[in-house]
Structure 1
């Protein structure tokens, strides 16, 4: 009994909301039962009554179904009017708003992606890996820094070798401190000594003379590589001011390093930071004193440049060596140019 009451309590609200449908369903069941009872049970007169009941109930069921359909149509009419008038009329404006939201979301996503692609490198291994990825298949390289030791030791030789293997054009732009400017050389050496007075990764301490020789060596290396690879377009500019950063920018990546060998920052091409640093390097290079690399044919250098060749080169391009330099100093510059020690080697 309790199960029947609980079932009735659940069915009663539905029956109240759908009275016409419930009555039609009940009558349909009754008509179905009456139609299944044999006529012999009712007799001749009972059979006629049976047929009349079935016909009347059928008509009543049809009337209830028609009533339910009309009622549902009346309920749907306001909704249809709302959709066809208000909702559809405002649809173009809403679609425009959705387009604006999509544009805003796309711009926000692009900005977040650009921020995520500027990241800090926290070890020598990460920095070395970033440099290797930057050198891979690159067609251009821009450098701005102190004297270009790592450029001579790793970047320039490997980029030229990779380009030579596939006969690919390579564009290189280098900006280092002016070796003929004693003041900037002293400023740079003093800055490096203030960070650490111990020998660096090359095994040497920083002095004004070393800063001058390192910069001379970068100029000599540029001429030497230019004479040996015809598809190398290299330019060198000399700056009267020093920077505490070193920029290395390839076709795919920017790497900005400092004196700490375990800290650097990198950004991929196409990001806001990469594009602005590219512009900065271009403008800085244009404002610095240019070395006439176009004169590379006039002073040929041997595979192992002699003292006379090196001296003649610097005299010819208007970047003369100090008069105090002897043969040993010139040999030291040639060694640094072609056999530079990687200062970040483990």
Structure 2
């Protein structure tokens, strides 16, 4: 009763109609004799009157509900529904803003750090896959000769597609920059690297000469290779490798590198940096690749004549052994990032 009383107070008309309906139902099933001699007539009159009252109360309740709903409907139709197109337009603007924000955040993720040799090697493999261009800037290009250039050229030849390569290394004819580079490498580690050699000024010069020789050798053997080499008089502590899909920056630590995907802020700015740096480097005249044909195994005379014809004669102190060493480094370069091996002891005068 305590719970029913508040409800009956708020809905008096409905409560009365319900009560009358119960009374009419009771009167309808009561015997006629209870109402006296004219019980049948009296019973019908009571039922009819009560029914009319119930209908009136129901109609009153319906009118009251409609009166209560009218302001709500008016508010909905004139307020929320009227503003719906504007709100939908704002929602579309918010979605556009969220998409732009997500794209900006992706671009702000400048680089991803690679923390192992395996990750770096895998990243290089992904960068080489189906690339149509490669740009390199670094010291002497040892890894480029050992892995990157041969594999990129082989993939391009297999797919019969064009390949553009831009290489910038230190100038082998500039003894000062070669000594600076060798000193820097020795200061980080004085033990042999993955090639089994220590860094000296002579090695830095030969490695750079070998990169030039390798560029000519590959250009002569693949007609769809557009390759250019620039020589820098300054060294860099970074090595940039850039393909169509990603940038990889390595340092002397073989277990540390950074990478950035194409179309990101960092990638685009590094692309501009490499292009401008290459334009300022001294250009090797690779357009003369037809002037001095190189054998599959270049001879000493072929290598010497090549460097003479391009205006970069080898040092007069170089003998046949030195020229063979340059050719070996050019075409059979050892991956410098493999596990170091001990240097081979040499006898005096060897």
**TM-score normalized by structure 2?**
0.89
Q: Can you give the 5+ residue segments of structure 1 that lack an aligned partner in the other structure?
A: 1-7
Q: Which has the higher helix share?
A: 1
- Give the CA deviation at 1:294: 1.7
Instruction: Summarize the Cα distance change of 1:26–1:190 in structure 2 as closer, same or farther, 3 Å threshold.
Output: farther
Residue in structure 2 matched with residue 5 of structure 1 by the alignment = none
Q: CA deviation at 1:271?
A: 2.0
In structure 2, distance between residues paired with 1:231 and 1:311: 26
1:297 aligns with 2:274: no
Partner of 2:103: 110
Equivalent residue number for residue 216 of structure 2? 223
Change (3 A) 1:78 1:221: same
Mapped to 2, the partners of 1:279 and 1:47 lie a distance apart of 108
Unaligned runs of 5+ in 2: 340-350
Aligned to 2:343: none
Specify the alignment match of 1:244 in structure 2.
Answer: 237
Cα distance, 1:15–1:280 mapped onto 2, change above 3 Å: farther
Alignment partner, residue 265 of structure 2: 272
Q: CA deviation at 1:11?
A: 3.4
The match for 2:142 among 126, 149, 156 is 149
Quick one: structure 1 residues 44 and 203, their matched pair in 2 at CA, closer, same or farther if it must change by over 3 Å?
farther
1:301–1:77 CA distance, 2 compared to 1 (3 A): same
What are the Cα deviations for residues 108-138 of structure 1, in whole angstroms up to 9, with x where unaligned? 2123333457311111111111111111122
What count of residue pairs does the alignment treat as equivalent? 339
Q: Are 2:69 and 1:76 aligned?
A: yes
What SS does structure 2 have at the residue aligned with 1:259? coil
Match of 1:15 among 1, 4, 8: 8
Q: Which whole-Å CA distance do the structure 2 matches of 1:318 and 1:145 have between them?
A: 23
Which residue in the other structure is 1:175 paired with?
A: 168
Q: Given the alignment, which residue of 193, 198, 215 partners 2:191?
A: 198
Q: Is the 8 A contact 2:110 2:266 kept in 1?
A: no
- Cross-structure match for 1:133: 126
- C-alpha deviations, 1:210-244, integer Å up to 9, x for none? 11111111111111111111111111111121111
Question: Compared with structure 1, are the counterparts of its residues 170 and 34 closer, same or farther at alpha carbon in structure 2 (3 Å cutoff)?
Answer: farther
Greater CA deviation, 83-92 or 204-213? 83-92
Aligned match of 1:327: 320
Range with bigger deviation, 69-78 or 196-205: 69-78
Q: Which deviations, in whole Å up to 9, do the C-alpha atoms of 1:86-111 show, x marking residues without a partner?
A: 44555455444433322332122123
What displacement does 1:51 show?
Answer: 2.5
CA distance in 1, matches of 2:33, 2:103: 86
Kindly state the Cα deviation for residue 32 of structure 1 after the two structures are TM-superposed.
Answer: 4.1
